[in-house]
Amino acid sequence: MNSFNDRGGVIGFGHYAPERRVPNAEIEQDLELGEGWIERRTGIRARRYAAPDQALTDIALPAAQMAIENAGIDPTKIGVTLLATSTPDHLLPPSAPLLVHKLGLPNSGGIDMAGACAGFLYALAMADAYAKAQGTAVLVVAANILSRRINPMERASRVLFADAAGAVVVTPPTHGGQGILAADLASDGTYYDLIKTSGGGSSNPYRPDMDPSEYLMSLKGGQTVFAKAVTTLTDSAMKVLDKAGLKPSDVDHWIPHQANSRIINAVGTNLGLNSDKTLMTLGEYGNSSAATIPFSLSKCREQRSYKTGDKLLLSAIGAGFVSGTVLVGI
């Protein structure tokens, strides 16, 4: 175990996907879609669903354990744990304290962050700032069990969403090229209602006569979502690179939110990023919202061989519309 004196910034990666693999054919048959319909429109071939006895903290746990082990730090040095999720175990209390308990972290606080698909980037930005200010390590976990929030009869959401978890450990940088180099976090409430779960909140609380579908996720305005996502992610990435005094060609690895291959390809083209710089797990694992970026970072780690000096560009947009771009130095 080290005291993170020899390296800093984002130093550990972890991921977890449930065992149950759900191929497109299963969904296409249920929804009476033609063979290949889902992959042609989304780039997704399959996704993972949690087992009935798995809770949110159950899938977050192995990803967090892997990140801590990969970081090689003493777990007592983790001062806070941030859990980015849209599917907590309960509405109250938050799930992060339970995750901290399961991990056995004696000195860690714990709090949930609900930022939809961009939640990990917000949590990462907070972690970077806290690590620098307090001189402590921060565990950032993003996890979702979206299979339990899908309306099985709504095509738009059912073909996309999945269950997974990803995690990173953030420590104080040891030199100026580590940690977050530039960031842009934004929201646009004009599109607040396009992706939502309408029931269960304060504005639409539980009623005995409530239609069960009100507790399920709904996605509408697909073309609007697509256009807004492409424009926002492109503009945000250019803003962040400009802040850092860099060009797209200076990026070593681009990790976009794994929402839809058409969105990823369009933004990549706009930025002029070569496809070999793009991390992709969408095809086999689908869209697990906030979890997709840390999941992809970890899943692709050995293949990509991150090295000191690499610059990672992280991009996401989701319900709200909450969005962000973060440039990280390794």
Catalytic residues: 117, 257, 287
How far is residue 316's CA from residue 229's CA, in Å, rounded to a whole number?
9
Tokens of 112: 């949930």
- Report how far residue 127's alpha carbon sits from residue 148's, in angstroms, rounded to the nearest whole number: 29
Residue 53's Cβ-count burial label (10 Å; 0-12, 13-18, 19+) is exposed
Q: How many CA atoms lie within 13 A of 172 on its CB side?
A: 13
Q: What single-letter amino acid sits at 92? A: L
> Which segments of the chain are extended strands (E)?
9-16, 20-23, 46-49, 78-84, 109-113, 137-145, 163-171, 179-187, 195-196, 218-219, 253-256, 311-318, 322-329
Q: Containing H/E element for 285?
A: helix 282-285
C-beta of residue 111 within 8 angstroms of C-beta of residue 96? yes
Helices (H) and strands (E) in the chain, counts: 11, 13
Q: What separation, in Å, do the N-terminal and C-terminal C-alpha atoms of the chain show?
A: 19
Give me the amino acid identity at 214: E
- Nearest CA to 159 among 322, 40, 53, 321? 40
